């Protein structure tokens, strides 16, 4: 399928692109080649192919979520120099 330079110019106008004549000719060739390839793909007949929902087998890559003891509030508060009422005290964000 051949696309015309007029159609390329229309697409460029929609995208608000300023293309010169050499760009129009280059993109005409590239887009025509892409459309020709898509036309070829539409004619491919897939027979005797196993249907798949995924291109890659579904493998569980996450670790097991083991429940472990966490730090106590007292131990957590020891990690900060500035605490108040069992909470971390931080400088104000807005003044």
Q: E strand or H helix at 76, and its extent?
A: helix 73-77
83 SS3 class: strand
Rounded distance between C-alpha atoms, residue 36 and residue 42, angstroms: 10
Rounded distance between C-alpha atoms, residue 45 and residue 50, angstroms: 13
Domain 5-42 has CATH 1.10.20: yes
Task: Report pLDDT digits (tens) over 45-72.
Answer: 877 777 766 777 777 778 888 899 998 8
The answer to whether the Cα torsion of 46, 48, 51, 56 is positive or negative is negative
Contact 61, 36 (CB under 8 A): no
Domain ranges of the chain: 5-42
pTM: 0.47
Task: Report pLDDT digits (tens) over 6-51.
Answer: 999 999 999 999 999 999 999 999 999 999 999 998 888 877 777 7
């Amino acid at each position: 399928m051949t696309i015309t330079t007029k159609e390329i110019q229309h697409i460029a106008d929609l995208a608000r692109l300023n293309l010169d004549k050499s760009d129009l000719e280059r993109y005409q060739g590239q887009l025509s080649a892409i459309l020709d390839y898509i036309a070829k793909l539409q004619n491919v007949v897939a027979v005797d192919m196993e249907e798949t929902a995924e291109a890659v087998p579904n493998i569980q890559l996450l670790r097991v979520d083991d429940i472990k003891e966490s730090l106590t509030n007292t131990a957590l508060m020891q990690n900060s120099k500035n605490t108040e009422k069992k909470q971390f005290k931080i400088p104000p964000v807005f003044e």
